[in-house]
Each structure stands twice: as structure tokens, then as C-alpha cells.
Amino acid sequence: MVYEFRYNQVFRHFDVLLEGAWLTVQLSASAMALGLLIAIACALIKTDGPRPARLLVNAYVEVIRNTPFLVQIFIVFFGLPNLGLRLSASQAALIGLSINLGAYATEIVRAGIESIPRGQIEAGVSLGLSRLQVFRYVIIMPALKAIYPALSSQFIILMLASSIVSQISAEELFHSAAFLESRTFLNFEIYSIVAVMYLVLSIAFRGALNLVRLAVFRRP
């Protein structure tokens, strides 16, 4: 018996998948922004913070980096209500993804901050820049510029990992796929299309991140 592929039946409901893809884009972009903020804060603490805070950040980074994301969102979504914190699936997904990215990006951002020579900061101070100006123009922007390639790859990895939040039934592309599968039973067709959609998304994200790089780090 030869299986007859029924891709046209899936394409008839392609709008469901497109909607899911758009949710994935939104979820990933929000998690990238939040995760980067967490990472910058943690990286600053790691390079220049008080010892107890440094130890805390170290523990956070190590715990997240050495446990699976699947288990992390299970703890956030199924576990936290035990402690009295009830989150919706999409809230848990966003929080889980941001916390996860934050830990990986902390190490990346820290490497960037440490690549700024001490003399540059002193030069900034002696030019009469305020603390905030030194932080913005001398430390964080050059640091981010230096580590941007590594950060972009981490962002793409996050976008792909966002498919895992379908396991707590948060709505995004993979969840839409599962929904469509329950309606049509065309599992192979659906998941192969969805795989291609993720491939397109990762190429699109890479392009968008390059544009961001051009826009933000224009100056030499």
C-alpha cells in the first residue's frame, strides 16, 4: 500500500498555522527582550556586584543551564500553583522562556562587558560623562556589539525552543499544529509543513536580527 499525501487538506487550514506562527514571533520577540534585560542585569551583578548577589546569579545561571527547558516550564506552570502562584499557560510560557534565555545570555553579555578595557571606562569618566552615560555609551553598547553574533544565535535557539511551550498548551505554532492534527489526523503532513515554517522563521529571524544590528550599531 502506498500512502497518499494529503497536503492540500492541510493547506486549506493554513490560516491556523499562520496565526500560530505569528504568536510564535510575538512570544519569541517578547522573551528575547525580557531575557536580554535579565541577562544585562545579571551580567552587571556578576562583574561588579556584591558577593552574595554574585553567588545568587551564579546559582541561577547554573541551575537553568543544567536542567531541561521542558522541566523548567513544568515547574513554572504546574509547580508554582502549589506555592500559590497561578499563571496562565501563555504567561508561564513567556516567563519560562525569558528566565531560560536570561541564564544563557548572562554568560554571553558578561563576556562582552569583560571585553571592555578598564581604560575606556576611565577615559569616559575623565571626559566628564555621567555614570549613566558611561554605562550606556562606553560599557553596554560596545559590549552588546561585540557579542551580537553569539546573542543572535542564542535568540534563534530560543525561538526554536519556544515550540516546547506547546507541552503546557500555551498557544504558538506547535500548539496550532497539534490542534490541526486533532482535527484532521494528518500528522505527518502537518508536522513536516510546520518544520519548514520554523526553518523559514529561523531564517527570517536571522535576517531581522541583522537589520537590528545595522540599525543599532551603526556607528563604528
Partner 1 sequence: MLRAFTFNEVLFLLDATKWTIAVTLIAFVGGGLVGLLIMILKVVNNRPAQWGAAAYVELFQGTPLLAQLFVVYFGMGLFGYDVSPWVAVSVVFTLWSAAFLGEIWRGCVQAIPRAQWEASAALGLSFAQQIRYVIAAQAARIALPPTVGFLVQIIKNTSLASVIGFIELARAGQIVNSATFRPFLVYCTVAMIYFALCYPLTALSRRLEGKLHGAH
Shortest CB 157 distance to partner 1, Å: 9
Residue range at the interface with partner 1 (CB under 8 A); choices 7-15, 45-53, 121-129, 161-169 = 161-169
Shortest CB 159 distance to partner 1, Å: 9
Binders of partner 1: how many residues, by CB under 8 A?
39
Interface with partner 1 (CB under 8 A), residue from 202, 208, 213, 217: 202
Instruction: Give the contact letters, 75-114, x = binds to partner 1 (CB under 8 A), - = no.
Output: x--xxxxxx-------------------------------
Residues 6+ apart with CB under 8 A from 19: 176
- Helices of type H across 66-140: 69-74, 89-114, 118-126, 131-133
Does 71 sit near partner 1 (CB under 8 A)?
A: yes
Are the C-beta atoms of residues 76 and 96 closer than 8 Å to each other?
A: yes
207 burial class (0-12, 13-18, 19+ CB within 10 angstroms)? Answer: exposed
Shortest CB 123 distance to partner 1, Å: 28
Interface with partner 1 (CB under 8 A), residue from 69, 104, 155, 179: 69
| Cα 52 from Cα 40, distance rounded (Å) | 18
Are the C-beta atoms of residues 100 and 65 closer than 8 Å to each other?
A: no
Does 66 sit near partner 1 (CB under 8 A)?
A: yes
Residues 6+ apart with CB under 8 A from 152: 206, 209, 210, 213
Does 210 sit near partner 1 (CB under 8 A)?
A: no
Are the C-beta atoms of residues 177 and 17 closer than 8 Å to each other?
A: yes
Residue 18: its H or E element: helix 14-48
Residues 171-200 interacting with partner 1 (rule: CB under 8 A): 174, 187-188, 191-192, 194-196, 198-199
Instruction: Please report, as ranges, the residues that interact with partner 1 according to CB under 8 A.
Output: 1, 3, 62-63, 65-72, 74-75, 78-83, 156, 160-161, 163-164, 166-167, 174, 187-188, 191-192, 194-196, 198-199, 202-203
